[in-house]
């Protein structure tokens, strides 16, 4: 990367990047830490750090990859410092328990529990692939892995989920 003289010429480009990726980065952070206010703070910190990097370097070729990398690192730092959230704190006694809603809720809880049981590296590739709808090549760049390693992790995670949930859940 080469040094940049200033951001005055690129302010429109930065606004475009922010508007294009802000929502995606927020969803990524929220999915990782499950705290709306903290996810908002981490998202803002991500873009501040991205802008700092943009001031120093003229040719950030893949801003999306850099944004996800920064956000992932900030989330990891937050997770190391934070206490885990109890499932009891997520209960809502006012929820309607009609048949379809209750069934969907149970399925979501089962899926969420099965995903939580996966190793972190598998959870992350599933989040990036299906939660953020990134391509395998983009995930490989963000995580610093080969495309083969990413595809292997995705396949392994899906196989483990299928095993944990039982085959009848996948019909």
In a domain, 5, yes or no: no
Q: What is the pLDDT of residues 38-94, one digit of tens each?
A: 999 999 999 999 988 877 776 677 888 889 999 999 998 998 887 554 444 444 444
Q: Which domain holds residue 66?
A: 10-80
Last residue of a domain, one of 56, 80, 104: 80
Last residue of a domain, one of 80, 111, 142: 80
In a domain, 148, yes or no: yes
Do 28 and 68 belong together in one domain?
Answer: yes
Residue with tokens 């009891």: 88
pLDDT band at 107 (very low <50, low <70, confident <90, very high): confident
DSSP 139-153: HHHHHT--HHHHHHH
pLDDT at 166 over 90: no
In a domain, 85, yes or no: no
Query: CB–CB of 74/33 below 8 Å?
Result: no
Q: What is the pLDDT of residue 70?
A: 92
**pTM (2 d.p.):** 0.59
Residue 57: phi and psi, rounded to 5, are -125, 135
Alpha carbons 59 and 63: distance in angstroms, whole number: 10
Please tell me the total count of domains within the chain.
2
Do 128 and 75 belong together in one domain?
Answer: no
Alpha carbons 117 and 105: distance in angstroms, whole number: 18
In a domain, 162, yes or no: yes
Q: What is the pLDDT of residue 80?
A: 83
Q: What is the pLDDT of residues 119-159, one digit of tens each?
A: 888 888 988 888 888 888 889 988 888 989 999 999 998 88
Least confident span in 29-38, 63-72, 111-120: 111-120
Do 65 and 21 belong together in one domain?
Answer: yes
Do 57 and 23 belong together in one domain?
Answer: yes
């Amino acid at each position: 990367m080469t040094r940049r003289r200033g951001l005055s010429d690129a302010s429109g480009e930065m606004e475009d990047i922010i508007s294009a990726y802000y929502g995606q980065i927020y969803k990524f952070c929220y999915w990782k830490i499950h705290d709306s206010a903290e996810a908002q703070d981490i998202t803002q910190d991500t873009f501040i750090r991205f802008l700092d990097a943009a001031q120093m370097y003229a040719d950030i070729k893949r801003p999306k990859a850099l944004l996800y990398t920064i956000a992932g690192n900030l989330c990891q730092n937050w997770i190391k410092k934070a206490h885990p959230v109890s499932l009891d704190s997520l209960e809502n006694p006012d929820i309607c328990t009609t048949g379809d809603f209750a069934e969907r809720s149970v399925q979501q809880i089962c899926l969420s529990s099965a995903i939580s049981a996966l190793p972190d590296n598998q959870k992350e590739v599933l989040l990036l692939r299906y939660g953020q709808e990134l391509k395998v090549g983009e995930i490989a760049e963000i995580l610093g892995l080969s495309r083969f390693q990413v595809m292997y992790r995705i396949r392994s995670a899906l196989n483990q989920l299928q095993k944990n949930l039982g085959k009848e859940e996948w019909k």
